[in-house]
Amino acid sequence: MQKAIPCMLFRGGTSKGIYFLDSDLPADSEKREEALLRIMGSPDPRQIDGVGGAHPLTSKVAIIKKSERDGIDVDYLFVQVVVDEARTSTAQNCGNILAGVGPFAIENGLVEANDGETVVTVFMENTDSIARQRIQTPEGRVEYDGDACIDGVPGTHAPIMIEFVGVAGSSCGALYPTGNVVDEVAGIKVTLVDNGMPVVMIAAESLGLAGDEAIEELEKNQDLKDQVEAIRLEVGPMMNLGDVSEKTIPKMTIVSPAKNGGLINTRSFIPHRVHEAIGVLAAASVAVAATTPGAVGNDIATIPEGERKLCNVEHPTGALAVEVETSGDPEELAPKSVAIMRTARLLFAGEAFYIPGK
């Protein structure tokens, strides 16, 4: 007999995922993973027997519950469902899927909306960190239509401002987990940074690249992929992440001078496919590192003036704007706050079906 679980499908930023109430999923961890794999259709490159989109960016899950923590509205657990393996991962966060958490919480009565704007404070379980979302709610209802545009998403929608609080070192224990802003691995200089997402920054020229290569060109370059993966496996323990051979972190980001007036240009491996854009929290890590003297990319970055910097992190399909506020103290490397504008849209509400134990 098939089982049905209530859910919503949201586009969050440049990703898409299924959102569940924690209480609607099996409490047992193995049964929960089984349900998520079968609902998404993994393992199968096409995810043909599930609702997954056959790509890491569209094979994502958000699990949400009302929080019991002081000052927090909801707890959010992100689950990456691997497309072609019977495996899920909670080792990382996802700032794009985060964009749909506030709207989901309001739609499901976990947060009471104000007339005008509603602030939803989210505890991100994957990284034990906090985000505040400002959501437009005229007449107490989530507004999805608006004039905000983000690269990688067609059309315009209502803006959702997300401020990340205390995310530096949330996965690795420190903003720069080795204590250095630059390290050398396999003869290549890298910056290992964690400002909400563990990222390895590598200069394109050190890999023999221009940095503006098309996604398809990079994905066909097996020698490059093998080199990047070898570095990733070596830096895992250096970033306090242990053996990362079966993890989706750290993200490998190739940086080059900006092409369109931004801070810096990027190509990101996530980790075995090339991102069509760049992850929200990965962009936050890149923006902070690129503005740090001595870090990989700092020498080629175009850095705005002032303690509050609006940094456009360029990627294959446009740019992602990251507002970085620094303390003004050159000895303090961690930013005071990081904010990003995203959009989200509710696409579907109903039930997901799966056959357990098959």
Q: Is the peptide bond before 335 cis (omega within 30 degrees of 0)?
A: no
Asked whether the whole model's pTM tops 0.85, one would answer: no
Residues 348 and 326 in one domain: no
Residues 309 and 194 in one domain: yes
Asked whether residue 29 is assigned to any structural domain, the reply reads yes
Give me the pLDDT at residue 6, please. 98
Handedness of CA 208, 211, 216, 218 (dihedral sign): positive
Residues 9 and 143 in one domain: yes
For 201, list phi and psi in degrees, rounded to 5: -100, 130
Residues 321 and 350 in one domain: no
Range of the domain at 38: 3-159+343-354
Residues 49 and 153 in one domain: yes
Residues 128 and 49 in one domain: yes
In order of 167, 195, 257, 325, 333, the CA distances from 177 in angstroms are 13, 11, 25, 21, 12
Per residue of the chain (358 residues), give pLDDT as tens.
Answer: 899 999 999 999 999 999 999 999 999 999 999 999 999 999 999 999 999 999 999 999 999 999 999 999 999 999 999 999 999 999 889 999 999 999 999 999 999 999 999 999 999 999 999 999 999 999 999 999 999 999 989 999 999 999 988 889 999 999 999 999 999 999 999 999 999 999 999 999 999 999 999 999 999 999 999 999 999 999 999 999 999 999 999 999 999 999 999 999 999 999 999 999 999 999 999 999 999 999 999 999 999 988 888 899 999 999 999 989 887 777 778 888 899 999 999 999 999 999 998 6
- What does 22-47 look like in DSSP terms, one character per residue? GGGS-SSHHHHHHHHHHHHT-S-TT-
Show Cβ contacts of residue 120 under 8 Å, excluding neighbours closer than 6 positions.
73, 74, 101, 102, 105, 106, 111, 132, 133, 135
Residues 45 and 155 in one domain: yes
Residues 278 and 321 in one domain: yes
Domain CATH code at residue 8 = 3.10.310.10
In this structure, are residues 146 and 157 in contact, taking their beta carbons and an 8 Å threshold?
yes
Residues 12 and 155 in one domain: yes
